[in-house]
Amino acid sequence: MIRIGILGNIGSGKSYVAKNFGYPVFDADYEVSKLYKNNKAMFEKLNKELPAYLKSFPIKKKEVIEAVLSNKNNLKKIIKIVHKEIKKKLDIFLKKNKHKKIVILDIPLLLENKINKKNDILVFVDSEKTIVEKKLKKRINFNSKIYNKFKKIQFSQVYKKKKSNYIIKNNFREKDVKSEIKNILYRIL
């Protein structure tokens, strides 16, 4: 099985690119939202760490945001607990798809949390900063303070590009993105 990890900055279109590969995608953001709704044990761990913020189950995104904004250490506490659960979900996904030729890993902080393996193929999604900022501002739940906190814990764009095997220029035009993906798949298959 070939594992392709998708890297890029917030709002660069990582999920959009991941879906266009045409192979099973592990979407960590989606898995986190399911954990917030369904995983009471994770809630209890978060509640124990941050009782002033995470008060009731299911976990409300608004409470998580308040916790992150109030104290810079809270984000690290949340990530530590949530990523343990995400790693379990990833293991289940990999077992379920073990006979697939390729799987796509759409996991924010893939490198930062050392989730990638040595042989993973890394694809960096590069997008124009102005387009990304416009897209982010259109998001209903966009919060620039949260965005800046996450940017601080991410590796730099330069570092991620250097670590990547391929770079996709995402101009948010499906035809162009699919063409770049086709070229990558041709090279690795």
Q: What is the pLDDT of residue 40?
A: 96
pLDDT one-digit tens code per residue, 27-39: 999 999 999 999 9
CATH architecture of 1-24+100-189: 3-Layer(aba) Sandwich (3.40)
Cβ-based neighbours of 32, under 8 Å, separated by 6 or more: 82, 86
138, 19 Cβ separation under 8 angstroms: no
Q: Is the pLDDT of residue 76 over 70?
A: yes
pTM for this model (two decimals): 0.89
pLDDT one-digit tens code per residue, 117-133: 999 999 999 988 777 77
Q: Mean per-residue pLDDT for 63-82?
A: 89
- Cα gap 52→175, rounded to integer Å: 48
CA angle 178, 186, 180 (to 5 degrees): 25
State the maximum Cα–Cα separation within the chain, in Å, rounded to a whole number.
52
